[in-house]
Structure 1
Amino acid sequence: MLYSIPWLESIPPLWWQIGIVALGLGAIVLSAETLHRRAATSSELTRKIVHIGTGNVILIAWWLQIPAWVGISASVIASAIALLSYYIPLLPGINSVGRNSFGTFFYAVSIGVLIAWFWTLRQFQYAAIGVLVMAWGDGLAGLIGQKFGRHPYQLWGMTKSWEGSLTMALISYAVSSLVLLSVQGNVWQAWLVPVAIGFVATALEAFSKFGIDNLTVPVGSAALAFYLSQLLSLGS
């Protein structure tokens, strides 16, 4: 067995946790970048692969109960790399030099903010809701909107589609209800709160100039889930 190897037994559990999270993130980014370079995958699809895959790491962090400082440190490092990548071609499949969006940077920042906030309260589910709504809701909304969007509308000079916005609302509802149901059980609040999250997340995503939705959607969704749950006596 793995733990019967003496030198492995000497490694503190914390380093196993950090290693698992780091390997997960590394595998996602490496896979996406490889697809972009070798399989002629578009930059937008590459970004969405990383966008969705990275968000799921919050579940691993929750499961392993990693210390807050680990998540915050990872967020700071990822934010710095994201900023550099706008000027240096570190990961061209994810961030093009000079790209007119700071979405990747805001995404990394939002994860750090949510971990700092909800890990301290030991309310991990709300951090998970915020990150997963952004990862799956925004990620799939972008893909569906580009592929099947036939009814466009404009906000702030940006073109969105009703198909993409509907996807955002439905996926946001689905992921937030699944998280709340897994923690709180089958109670009516766990079905009602996600309705508000779906509406608010969709509205915030629509106003996404310069990629700011990668910060407002996760933080806004998590905050709304937390305060509504407390108001409706769902919080633990």
Structure 2
Amino acid sequence: MTLVFQQILPISLVGFYLGILILISEILRRYYRANSEITRKIVHIGAGQVILLAWWLNIPSYLILLASLGASMVAIISYFLPILPSVNGVGRKSLGTLFYALSIGILTVLFWDKSLPQFTAIGILVMTWGDASAALIGQKWGKHKYQFLGSKKSWEGSLTMMLVSAIVILSILCFVYPWHNYFILITLSTAILATFLETFSIIGIDNLTVPVFSALFCYYLLQLFS
């Protein structure tokens, strides 16, 4: 009974947090006429912080995988039916939300049960903070445009992606491990890779490639140097 309670409480907290997040974004969209891209980024960033809750509450991997599967199914339905406009955006044809959910499941399989949740967190938070910051800065202040494989970006957005990703990666490494000078090289290398992957974002594929390959690259670099 105690074990069941210990599992139900963390899930309830996560569910409550996500419910409040979506509710706030829907209220902003419907009653305050907030731009759908803004509400989508609020959900995008806010939902990513769930990985920190899961890490802190030590939620077992199978529950995270179930949540990833459930979110994937909702994303597929929402792609065809506008059930959550604040998540997908009005008229937005992208599989980014699906790839977002899948990336959480993949990173959980790769790292969670190996007692390496920090790399799951690195992948997800690089995507949530880095990608969202790049989009918001690029749309508002991006004056120097470029195009890569059909994806239109700005140098301002890409530099923001690299800077925010570096902050996320270095913060988590310093939180988990004793300081080493090679953290700087690992951080910069991973941030550059994440920024490169983010430049190719057709149909939202960067929501899969950025978190998965950034986490794997950071992990293997750390193994190489340590």
Q: TM-score, normalised by structure 2?
A: 0.96
Match of 2:45 in 1: 52
- Runs of 4+ that moved beyond 4 A: none
1:165 aligns with 2:158: yes
- In 2, the alpha carbon distance for the partners of 1:46 and 1:156 equals 27
Give the structure 2 partner of residue 106 of structure 1.
Answer: 99
Which deviates further from its counterpart, 175-184 or 148-157? 148-157
Higher Cα Rg: structure 1 or 2? Answer: 1
Whole-Å separation in 2 of the counterparts to 1:189 and 1:25: 36
Match of 1:4 in 2: none
1:98, distance to aligned residue in structure 2 (A): 5.8
1:85 maps to what in 2?
78
Count of residue pairs brought into register by the alignment: 226
Distance in 1 separating the partners of 2:182 and 2:20: 37
Q: Deviations over 1:53-79 (max 9, x none)?
A: 111110010011100001000000001
Q: Report the CA distance between 1:158 and its aligned residue.
A: 2.4
Distance 1:189 1:24, change over 3 A: farther
Aligned ranges for residues 57-136 of structure 1 at < 5 Å?
A: 57-96=50-89, 99-136=92-129
Aligned partner letter, 2:144: H
Deviation at 1:189, TM superposition (A): 2.6
Q: In structure 1, what is the Cα distance between the partners aligned to 2:18 and 2:110?
A: 22
Deviation at 1:97, TM superposition (A): 6.7
Cα RMSD (Å)? 1.6
Structure 2 regions of 5+ residues with no counterpart?
none
1:216 aligned to which of 209, 215, 219: 209
Normalising by structure 1, we get a TM-score of 0.92
Inter-partner Cα distance in structure 1 for 2:111 and 2:143:
39
| Bigger mean CA offset, 125-134 vs 15-24 | 15-24
Are the equivalent residues in 1 in contact too, given 2:28–2:34 (CA < 8 A)? yes
**83-92 vs 127-136, greater mean Cα deviation:** 83-92
Counterpart in the other structure of 1:175: 168
**One-letter code aligned to 1:131:** I
Distance apart, 1:26 and its partner CA: 1.6
CA contact (8 A) 1:86 1:96 kept: no
Identity of aligned residues (%): 50
1:33-52 equivalent positions in 2, closer than 5 A: 33-52=26-45
Unaligned runs of 5+ in 1: 1-8
Offset of residue 156 of structure 1: 2.1
- Deviations 1:171-212 (CA, angstroms, capped at 9, x unpaired): 000000000000012221322211111100000000111100
What CA distance in whole angstroms lies between the structure 1 residues aligned with 2:112 and 2:219? 13
2:152 is paired with a residue of what secondary structure?
strand
CA distance in 1, matches of 2:165, 2:184: 12
